[in-house]
Amino acid sequence: MDYYDKLIHRALEALDGACETAIDPGEVLSWKQADGNPLVLESESALELGRYPLPGVEFTMMSGSGLVDRDLIRIFGPDITDKKKFDGAFGKIILLGVREMEEGDGLYDQIKEIEHLKFKLYLEGYMNRASVEKHRENIRISRDAVKKGISFKRVGKSMIEHYKTCPNVEHVQVIFITEPLEAFSTLTGIAREGKKITDAMCTILDDLNFDCKTCKIKNICDEVGGLMDLHKKQKK
């Protein structure tokens, strides 16, 4: 399960050299979960990030090759508790280290199940609105949550715990970007490429087209290690 490895490497390289805070999730407490996505009105908001057209990116990618080998929270820019001025940019990247998954038709379903986990985590005073097509997320944090000590460290810890409820997920790395890094443009391109790989996998596993000469996803299969092998297995 290394279909996304090249993209993960590129994402990490895009962030290389930028100032960051790395946190061992074992050293922080998780933030409180809510029953549903909380409604935080603008009048109740202490902070809003990722609002279009400000810089923003959001995606989840996974690897079974050992590339993601430990739990980690990384913050590029200020945390909520730093009491510094934010300019509104926001990025959230989830990198997952997964156990070996079953091949065949069940693979795509397992990948989508893991990806959909992000829509099932709700946190107190932390409202998020994701745009899947634009690969970005807008968050709004209430004044009450800020008073109670919410931070990206604690939100990241909650995300790690949430993803690890899935038996196939072994390690989780959560990356927050809260300042306008030049990497946003590169990361958005990577997010788009990741979706193309997932869509190509869906095409392969749905038996939609096995004539490689005319297949519209041939260029993706040629570029991504493992997809061609998956394609050949489905032909048998």
CATH of the domain at 192: 3.30.1650.10
d(C-alpha 171, C-alpha 219), whole Å: 31
Q: pLDDT tier at 86 (50, 70, 90 boundaries)?
A: very high
> Is 216 part of any domain?
no
Q: Residues with Cβ < 8 Å from 159, sequence gap 6 or more?
A: 94, 121, 172, 174
pLDDT band of 223, cuts 50, 70, 90: low
Asked whether the predicted pLDDT for residue 207 surpasses 80, the reply is no
Total tally of structural domains belonging to the chain: 1
Question: pTM here?
Answer: 0.89
Structural domain includes residue 185: yes
The answer to whether 184 touches 56, Cβ cutoff 8 Å, is: yes
Considering all CA atoms of the chain, what is the largest pairwise distance in Å, rounded to the nearest integer? Answer: 60
Residues 6+ apart with CB under 8 A from 107: 101, 201, 205, 230
187 found inside a domain: yes
Domain that holds residue 116: 5-205
Residue 236 located in a structural domain: no
Confidence of residue 108 (pLDDT cuts 50, 70, 90): confident
- The answer to whether position 213 is within a domain reads no
Helix or strand (DSSP H, E) at 67: none
Asked, for residue 215, whether it belongs to a domain, the answer is no
Other CB atoms within a 10 A radius of the CB of residue 153 amount to 22
Confidence at 225, pLDDT banded by 50, 70, 90: low
Looking at the domain assignment, is residue 225 inside a domain? no
pLDDT tier, 204 (very low <50, low <70, confident <90, very high otherwise): confident
Q: Is the pLDDT of residue 37 over 70?
A: yes
In a domain, 42, yes or no: yes
Q: Count other C-beta atoms under 10 Å from residue 109's C-beta.
A: 13
